[in-house]
Amino acid sequence: MIVVYGALSAAAMLIFLFRTAREPRRLSNAVWLGVAVLFFGLWLLLRAADTELLADVAGYTLLTLVGLLVLVLPAALIANGVVMWRREGHRPANSLSLLAGVALVLLFGFSFYAASFTRATWVIVAAISLMLVAGYIAFLFVSLLAYSVLYGRLGRRGRADAIVVLGSGLLGDRVPPLLASRLDRAMERYTRETAAGATPVLVVSGGQGPGETVSEAAAMGAYLRERGVPEERILLEDKAATTEQNLRFSAALLEQHGHAGRIVAVTSSYHVFRAAVLSRRLRLRLHVVGARTASYFAPSAFLREFVALLAQYWRTNAAICAVLALGPVLLAVLTSG
């Protein structure tokens, strides 16, 4: 089995590298990376089991990871959810880390009860089904998180003929910190390109939303001009209300102005990969880079992006979750007969 797991890990990694080289914006790239790491971990555990010292180290490491997963992760998510509520308000999107932490507490509590305090077959089967579904979701989340970080580091050195900044909302007519970080990241890229002799154009994208006194594009343009970006290098796209519209309308605006070179879109770090996947679905040739996000904001933000990506492929994910949930049930029915 050691050789098999090693071969499967190597094969999955080769597929990952090939597909990423051809098109880094594929969601499946994250899955292949996760599969490669999973099989490599199994290979490593079996290799460690052959040596007594390494087996002990692997055992203690595994116990530590399980302890962190069961005890520390739920508490950290709940604590982050409380911070999000206090700093960002009680909107549903700000409750994701809190809900995830509570869900993990309930899942682990129910599984512990099923394993330790009951012999009821259907309780045990239900716990196994829930753990399998949760394991699949956790696998996807970790894979997407890891690949999101990796994708954010790809293509950083390529030339940018146009830089598109995706809006994220205003406070009246004021640019809030989250949006300011995107604009600052875009200006860093703009400064680097101009220092190299290029003349990129900056597209600021965002319409006027509820509670906003001006369009995001107008406020973003003013922010850039105040910091020394020439007005003639700024294009305003002031109609978009979603990420899809940010990308489509900005690309169309650039085409109208005769810009056909390489486009780099700037958004927040947590939003990079979903924006990239969406740009591929829209058949837009651009690369997405990320701006830093406040540490307290990142967990809920990544969870929100993860849910949005799951929703894009809900049929596939629902089918896999159904198979994982019903598998133990069917097995229990067959064995009980």
pLDDT at 49: 67
Q: Using CB atoms within 10 A of its CB, is residue 101 exposed (0-12), middle (13-18) or buried (19+)? A: buried
Whether the per-residue pLDDT at 93 is higher than 80: the answer is: no
Question: To the nearest 10°, the Cα dihedral for 255, 256, 259, 264?
Answer: -60
Positive or negative, the Cα torsion across 252, 257, 259, 260? positive
246 & 274 share domain: yes
Residue written as token pair 């999973």: 38
List the one residue out of 40, 119, 107, 33 whose CA is nearest residue 73: 107
**Taking 60 as the threshold, does the pLDDT of residue 55 lie above it?**
no
pLDDT at 60: 60
Confidence class of residue 68 from pLDDT cuts 50, 70 and 90? low
Mean pLDDT in residue range 84-108? 85
**Integer Cα distance of 195 and 144 in angstroms:** 35
- What does the pLDDT read at residue 293? 86
CATH of the domain at 275: 3.40.50.620
DSSP state of 70: I
Per-residue pLDDT tens digits for 118-169: 888 899 999 999 999 999 999 999 999 999 989 887 766 667 889 999 998 8
Cα 227 from Cα 244, distance rounded (Å): 28
What is the mean pLDDT of the segment spanning 102-108? 92
Residue 58 binned pLDDT confidence (cut-offs 50, 70, 90): low
Residue 245: inside a domain: yes
Is residue 324 predicted with pLDDT exceeding 80? yes
How many distinct structural domains can be found in the chain? 2
At 14 the pLDDT is 97
Q: What predicted TM-score, i.e. pTM, was given to this entire model?
A: 0.85
Q: Which residue has the higher pLDDT, 134 or 71?
A: 134
208: in domain: yes
Considering the domain architecture, whether residues 256 and 200 belong to the same structural domain is answered as yes
Shared domain for 84 and 129, answered yes or no, is: yes
Tell whether 64 is covered by a domain.
yes
Residue with tokens 């309930």: 106
**Which two structure tokens, joined as six digits, stand for 162?**
């146009």
Give tens-digit pLDDT for 268-312. 998 999 999 999 999 998 889 999 888 888 888 899 889 988 888
Q: Give the structural domain span for 243.
A: 162-294
The pLDDT tens digits of the residues spanning 212-244 come to 899 999 999 999 999 999 999 999 999 999 999
Task: Determine the pLDDT at residue 2.
Answer: 78
Same domain, 175 and 284: yes
Domain check: are 147 and 166 in the same one? no
67 shares its domain with 190 = no
Mean pLDDT computed over every residue of the chain: 88
Q: Are residues 134 and 254 in the same domain?
A: no
For residues 325 and 287, membership in a common domain is answered with: no
* 211 and 318 fall within a common domain: no
Q: Tens digits of per-residue pLDDT, 176-199?
A: 888 999 999 999 999 998 888 888
276 and 245 part of one domain:
yes
Output the pLDDT for position 312: 84
